[in-house]
Structure 1
Amino acid sequence: MTGTVGIVGVGNMGGGMAARLLACGWRVQACDLVEAKVQALVRQGARAAASPQEAAQGADALIVCVVDAAQSRAVLFGPEGAAAALERGRAVLLCPTIAPQDVEALASGLAERGLAAIDAPMSGGPARARDGSMSLMVACDDAVYAANRALLEALSGKVFRIGTRVGDGARTKLVNNLLAAINLAGAAEAMALAERLGLDLARTLDVIEQSSGQSWIGSDRMRRAIAGDYAPRAHVTLLQKDTGLALQAARAAGFQASLGPVAHEAFNRAVAAGDAELDDAALLRLFRRP
């Protein structure tokens, strides 16, 4: 079963998701502030949409894949917002990593318009979005899940059904991303130490990948960093944002985090050092500095 999907935000992850759907036979209406990103998908068969509202017209579902809660609100409820164009009963997949209370507020606004929210943050990077192997952490009403299951399974072979409480997908993603940030900061520091000790970094990473220090994000990012490849797949600012949101959620729950603030500060320092728009593999540059 296929249909028509609007996607607002076709950058690294959204573009990968759009390409995946097109390859699976779905019709995609793509919208982004960067026209070149839309045109790249048009060449693959997508239809260009000039606004979120246009992306939503006639769509069976809408995917919001922007950066933060403010952008999500604008996409849905702004002057050219998508919510006004969606038919009642349609679903909106909320894929950005945002605070649980923001997901809940967006879901409430959609419900007032007769629309359903699917709390569906994603993880895995652009390549995995493109081949359908990324993770989706899904929280929504059971009936909404059943109605949109074909779309969810087309997007990902790793759909994790978190539950029915909208916001729990966001909570799960923040927990994941806090650990990812801690792992990445640790990997960057360890590789900087290896370099200071006079070790060959590629060979050291070979050992780590087959030993107890291995982590997926450490291997993925440090391979790129060793090669000097800092082209942004996930900007430094994303994990800076996400760790801040995770720590905010921790405080709200009365949980005193210890390692999370250290990782968050490492990303703050990388941004302050001018690496904000680089791939987060650039964290190695931070630990290499005297």
Structure 2
Amino acid sequence: MNPESTEHSGVAGSGSAQGDDTTTVAVLGLGAMGLPMALRLGTELPVWAFDVSAERRALAVEGGTHGAASPAEACRTADVAVLAVRDEEQLRAALFGADGAVHTLRPGAVVVLTSTVGPEAARSVAATLAEKDVDLVDAPVSGGPVRAGNGDLLIMVGATEQALANARRVLDLLASTVHVVGTNPGDGQTMKTVNQLLCGIHTAAAAEALALARALGLDLETVVQVLGSGAAASFMLADRGPRMARAYTGDVELRSRLDVINKDMHIVGKVASAAGVPTPVAAAATALYTLAMRQGLAAEDDSRLVTLLAPEDGTAGPESTGPRGGGADR
């Protein structure tokens, strides 16, 4: 199958959570992306949702899904299991742990992997699932929580034609654009790795720019508006910039944990090294995320990266002699 792209409204057929559609879905992982995806799917399909956090499960139930006490319970009647976990460790626990999904997934079911775990992990998991006659659709997503809830994600797919067909109903509900980049698990992860290289660099660059602007005494909200109007604009500046401008007040919604982009950038480094391609700019951005992790920002929104470069006292470093802070971010 040749790579292909499809674009659509993200609004699928006439099925409903009351059972008009025969596709039953399990969503494993109800974090920043998983919860809005579960709620989005629940508007059209019966959804069983699981997360290790009882609070997140409760939010999913309040939004119209069925709660499950374990991945195995969530997948007991599932035709499609959507995985929205943080990393490979969580992925393997959800699928192959003592109460993992693999124990109840029926032969012919499909696992849709929306997380970024790297090509090798996707291929390894696909091989293990194949032993149970379960297909893996490698479908990492991009777009953020708001777009996830609106069915407006970009999804990069690597899957066989049959597995893709079995998962298409779910993919169409979640995405406004589905790019089929290959026919094998791992192909989607490879594309997502390239995507994350740019996302990681752009986020770090936005943090550097706003840190410099703060040290020079500029109003950060004005800076974001001005930069977003010209050649310096980027999706990450538009998305993270307003949160970076508010980072010094503490009023920052947790939408994208810093340890997630740190994990993704380390995958970028590993894949690039294996391919023999130098990525010095990505390596510099990765070093910045690693430093932020060591400063205790792992569980913070990645927009707080700006506070590492221009601390809250307004200095730009121990030897800075430039203007001090000021502006709307105070």
In structure 1, list runs of 5 or more residues that go unmatched: none
The reply on whether 1:9 has 2:29 as its aligned counterpart is yes
**What is the aligned-residue RMSD (CA, Å)?**
1.1
Query: 1:56 and 1:114 mapped to 2: Cα distance?
Result: 15
Which residue of the partner structure matches residue 236 of structure 1?
258
Q: Given the two structures, how large is their TM-score scaled by the length of structure 2?
A: 0.85
Does the 8 A contact of 2:210 with 2:245 survive in 1? no
Q: What residue number does 2:217 align with?
A: 198
**Residue from 29, 35, 38 that aligns with 1:18:** 38
Secondary structure of the corresponding residue to residue 218 of structure 2: coil
Shift of 1:227: 2.0
Q: Does structure 1 residue 264 correspond to structure 2 residue 283?
A: no
Q: Note the 1:147-226 alignment, pairs <5 A.
A: 147-226=166-245
Measure how far apart 1:120 and its partner are.
0.7
1:280 corresponds to? 302
Aligned length: 289
Name the TM-score, length of structure 1 as normaliser: 0.97
- Counterpart Cα distance in 1 of 2:138 and 2:127: 12
Per the TM alignment, residue 232 of structure 1 is displaced from its structure 2 partner at its CA by 1.7
Q: Which amino acid counterpart does residue 74 of structure 1 have in structure 2?
A: A
Aligned to 2:12: none
* Rounded Cα–Cα distance in structure 2 between residues aligned with 1:45 and 1:38: 11
Deviation at residue 147 of structure 1 after TM alignment: 2.2
Q: SS in structure 2 opposite 1:266?
A: helix
**Does 260-269 or 197-206 show the bigger shift?**
197-206
Letter matched to residue 84 of structure 2:
C
Matched, 1:47 2:41: no
Provide the rounded CA distance (Å) in 2 between the counterparts of 1:130 and 1:48: 18
Give the conservation status (yes or no) of the 8 Å contact 1:5–1:60: yes
1:3-152 equivalences under 5 Å are 3-23=23-43, 25-152=44-171
Q: Which amino acid aligns with 1:248?
A: K
Structure 1 runs of 4+ off > 4 angstroms?
A: none
Alpha carbons 2:224, 2:237 under 8 Å: kept: no
Deviation at 1:198, TM superposition (A): 2.2
- The separation in 1 between residues aligned to 2:64 and 2:203, in whole angstroms, is 37
SS in 2 for 1:41: helix
8 Å CA contact 1:231, 1:278 repeated in 2 = no
Contact 2:84 2:114 in 1 (8 A): yes
| 1-structure distance, mates of 2:121, 2:115 | 11
Structure 2 match to 1:245: 267
The one-letter amino acid of 2:243's match is R
Per chain length, whose mean CA-contact separation is higher, i.e. which structure has more relative contact order (CA < 8 Å, sep 6+)? 2
Q: Report the structure number with the largest CA radius of gyration.
A: 2
Deviates most, 141-150 or 125-134: 141-150
Shift of 1:230: 3.0
